[in-house]
Amino acid sequence: MFTGLSHVSIAVPDLEAAARRLREAFGLSIGEVLTNAEQGVRLAYVDLANARIELMEPVRPDSPVAKFLARNPKGGIHHFSLTVDDTASTAEDLRAQGIRILGDARPQYNVAGQRIAFLHPDDFLGALVELEAHSAKG
């Protein structure tokens, strides 16, 4: 079902400050800043050998990430993302087993155009889990 770890996502109040911190303290290089208007976030990634760190800064107050930062003003781990071959069919299989899929009234996509879905944290040990398609059909 799950084929790997895509990324661990950290919500931050200031994307540029976060990137500078990771660069100066840990020598990590941060990629270009991207915007996902649908999710209401600006994003940047640190590429590691086998997964990425995602930094997310909200761009509007009604973004779920803005709500997370209201509770955690310094930022913190927001979710982690597991890769799947096909997001829609995996979400369908999970739903059939009683797992709650968040916001599935309409399909969601990440900044690379890959189909994503989120599992309810109460159904995954308290962690918010993103599913991310890594096949062409998504």
N-terminal to C-terminal alpha carbon distance within the chain? 14
User: Using CB under 5 A, which residues numbered 35 to 64 contact Co ion?
Assistant: 54
Q: CB of 8 within 8 A of CB of 77? A: yes
Catalytic residue among 38, 57, 92, 130: 130
Q: Which of 36, 63, 81, 83 binds Co ion (CB under 5 A)?
A: 81
Q: Which of 11, 130, 131, 133 binds Co ion (CB under 5 A)?
A: 130
Alpha helical stretches, state H, 43-132 = 64-71, 87-96
Of 5 and 98, the one with the shorter C-beta distance to Co ion is 5
Write out the residues near Co ion by the rule CB under 5 A: 9, 54, 81, 130
